[in-house]
Homo-oligomer: A and B are copies of this chain.
Amino acid sequence: MKNILVIGAGRSATALIDYLKKYIGDKELQLTIADADLALAQQKAGNAGGRVRAISLDIFKEEELNQHISQADVVVSMVPAAFHPLVAKPCISHKKHMLSASYVSDEIRALDEQARQAGVLILKECGLDPGIDHMTAMEAIDKIKAAGGKLLAFRSYTGGLIAPESDTNPWGYKFTWNPRNVVMAGQGTTARYLRNGEYKYVPYHRLFGRLEQIEIEGYAPFEGYPNRDSLSYLQIYGIEDIPTMLRGTLRKRGYCDAWASLVQLGLTDDSFKMEGLEGMTLREFTNSFLSYDPSLSVEEKFCRMMDVSPKSDLFKRIVWLGLFSKEPVPVSKASPAQVLQAILEEKWKLEPQDKDMVVMQHIFDWEEQGEQKRLYASLVSLGDDQLHTAMAKTVGWPLAIVVSLLLEGKIERRGVCTPVTPDLYKPVLEELRELGVTFIEKVVSVPAAKK
């Protein structure tokens, strides 16, 4: 009997596990759900019967980890990204396939030759972003190239957002994912992309002002800001000659301007602990990032610094966060980013009935038989509830599908790779479509002037 081992039973593993439980059905298969927290593993295993079992597993105990991997046929690693090498190495020595949704690190990439020699597949970046983005992008790129088209531009945006029915605040945003990642988004380097043959660099403090307006029929308008490094995808996608290449993150329209004002103030800095937070009001907290001027109110100083009117939506969003209120700062001995996160965790909290939404849009421009065309390929995936979120489904399903394909002997690729080749993306996308993860495609002709 073949055995599937899932390591890590957290939030993002729910849809993966549900899919696999259904998949094993009456087949000669076993599913082992491992987590350092046995109760969590048991909860996810549910009462599906003898062929689904929950175990306690500490990945830092080498012997324990080796034992369980040696008993598996395919391993899905849902542990935090930094710990994937801990799992990948024993997978290779025991000749077991390993799948994960996180980025290929240099350390994992270096295992390629070993993995090939062991005859195993180490598949990374096989979730949503990275994952579905790679697969759908490559499908479109390969199709355009096959038709003799010449690629001119590729822009791609993804966002983990709140469903329209749960969108009840002026930011159009709630925490459907790790709050710290949202507060720290974009920090630490300069975003880089390619626009009509020009390299473009946007430092963090201007990142949320370099926006593209994105529309998807039936939904409120979105906007996207550039991700850290779009340039590395030129090679990954084999489109080194393309003049425009940008990957970005989607928010509902209006979010980025308001977020940019928090960045301008300095509220996202995580490099030092603030003084005197105990007994400080949010109004005083905000004022500490504005210049000293007793002739102006905190609101007036904010509006002057940001060059906005007190009637602007931007200002209203900041007011709604309570940053001018006399409420106490919710944490003490914290960095500005930690204070902001604590404020947002209260304001952007998911309510029990709230549903999330994953949105992705690819925009391809190409020339085909003297005509310039544009493809908009858009995905909107809605969560069912707080457990079966759109994020968990779109991250977990691609992994689960590859597990099934591997067990059925339908994937021959070996070594360290990502799902950018047709042997991988075709069967996965086909199955995803059956599960309702479908891109709406629209092709338009672009007048030459609009290049």
Contacts and interface: CB of A to CB of B under 8 A. Distances in A.
A188 B292 contact: no
B266 A202 contact: yes
18 contacts: A188-B271, A189-B269, A189-B272, A190-B336, A192-B272, A192-B275, A196-B294, A198-B284, A198-B287, A198-B288, A201-B274, A201-B289, A202-B266, A203-B205, A203-B264, A203-B265, A204-B205, A231-B275
B336 A201 contact: yes
Nearest to A291: B210
Contact of A266 (B206, B284, B294): B206
Interface string A336-365: 100000000000000000000000000000
Contacts of A289: 200-203
B192 A266 contact: no
A246 to B, nearest CB: 10
A288 B206 contact: no
A288 B205 contact: no
B195 A292 contact: yes
Given A205-B205, A336-B201, A292 B190 contact: no
Contacts of A189: 269, 271-272
Pick the 3 closest A-B CB pairs, nearest first.
A203-B266, A205-B205, A189-B271
A198 B292 contact: yes
Interface in A265-322: 265-266, 269, 271-272, 274-276, 284, 287-289, 291-292, 294
B206 A292 contact: no
A292 B272 CA distance: 35
A83 interface: no
A225 to B, nearest CB: 13
A151 B99 CA distance: 65
B199 A271 contact: no
Contact of A206 (B196, B264, B287): B264
Copies of this chain in the oligomer:
2
Contacts of A198: 284, 287-288, 292
A22 B366 CA distance: 77
B199 A288 contact: yes
Contacts of A200: 288-289, 291-292
B199 A276 contact: yes
A290 to B, nearest CB: 8
Contacts of A266: 190, 201-203, 206
A333 to B, nearest CB: 13
Interface in A358-382: none
A98 to B, nearest CB: 30
Nearest to A267: B203
A39 to B, nearest CB: 41
Contact of A271 (B190, B284, B336): B190
A343 to B, nearest CB: 16
Given A199-B274, A199-B276, A229-B272, 13 more contacts: A192-B275, A198-B284, A198-B288, A198-B292, A200-B289, A201-B274, A201-B289, A203-B266, A203-B269, A205-B264, A206-B264, A206-B266, A231-B275
Interface string A135-149: 000000000000000
Contacts of A336: 190, 201
Given A275-B199, A276-B199, A190 B291 contact: no
A266 B200 CA distance: 11
